[in-house]
Amino acid sequence: MKRRRYLRTSELAKAAGVHPNTVRLYEQSGLLPPVERDPFNGYRRFTRAHLDQMLLARKAMRFNFLSGAIRATAYEIISQGAAGDLGGALELAYHLLALVQAERSQAEAAANYLERWVAGVLPDPASRPQRIGEVAQLLDVTIDQLRNWERNRLLKVPRNPSNGYRLYGPNEIGRLRVIRILIRSRYSMMSILRVLSKLDAGEIVELRAALDTPEPGEDILYVTDHWLSTLARLEDEAHALVSQIEANIAAQESEEQDFFDTP
């Protein structure tokens, strides 16, 4: 018989590349499996399974700055891992990867739409100037949204000189369609303003780069300020999370010799 080798808190922290306090925090938060205590000295007795779960949790936590299904799935992966259900965690990791890929596909499609609009291949069929209520109904947005986009300088709407009402022509409606699809694809207001300002200045090349690259001195408040590159990185990290869980399953099945002592 081989005797299981245990790790102390400091050893687990070093192996995982974290501070010992982080290990204790993960344990207290239920992100690790239950930890036995040495009956003689009370020290925590961490195992290979704890190290594997620590590495899994750290990879999954990289998605915690997002909201919605991606973040919820990442936390559920950690929960399944802590409960010892690595098969369930792996299934969820593949689901997480699919969610990120879908998000990235939507963002890429919105950028493609922007490029097609600038190229003039998406003319708007509006035959007459329309008032704000008509445009809100046409685009399935609220009047407040239209006003907010204007306040944020995403477009300037001409007004009827006789009564001051906004009048949206084909150019404004086409621009609004671009704004709407970019916002629904989770690009930030700042990134949309950045690319539209370049277009207004006559710069019509490298729009995708402009959409994804903050200007020097620009405040970067959200990951959606550089959304395309963020999603590319997240897809790589989702693949890495899948690989981590598959490695954890393999280690669990083989009970790697490094974590056992001979009698």
Nearest-5° Cα angle at 91, 229 to 80: 100
pLDDT score for 258: 52
- 3-25 average pLDDT score: 91
Spacing of C-alpha 15 from chain mean position = 27
Rounded CA gap, 84 and 82, in Å?
A: 5
Look up residue 91 and give its two tokens.
């299934």
- 197-223 average pLDDT score: 89
Rounded CA gap, 217 and 226, in Å?
A: 14
pLDDT score for 50: 95
pLDDT score for 179: 98
What sign does the CA torsion over 13, 15, 16, 17 have? positive
pLDDT score for 164: 85
What band does 120 get if pLDDT is binned at 50, 70 and 90?
A: confident
Instruction: Write down the pTM of the prediction.
Output: 0.87
For the domain spanning 3-100+228-261, the CATH number is: 1.10.1660.10
Highest mean pLDDT among 6-20, 109-123, 242-256: 6-20
Look up residue 213 and give its two tokens.
């690259």
- 12-36 average pLDDT score: 95
Q: DSSP letter string over 22-72?
A: HHHHHHHTT-S---EE-TTT--EEB-HHHHHHHHHHHHHGGGTTS-THHHH
Look up residue 225 and give its two tokens.
């300020």
Length of the chain as a residue count: 263
pLDDT score for 262: 41
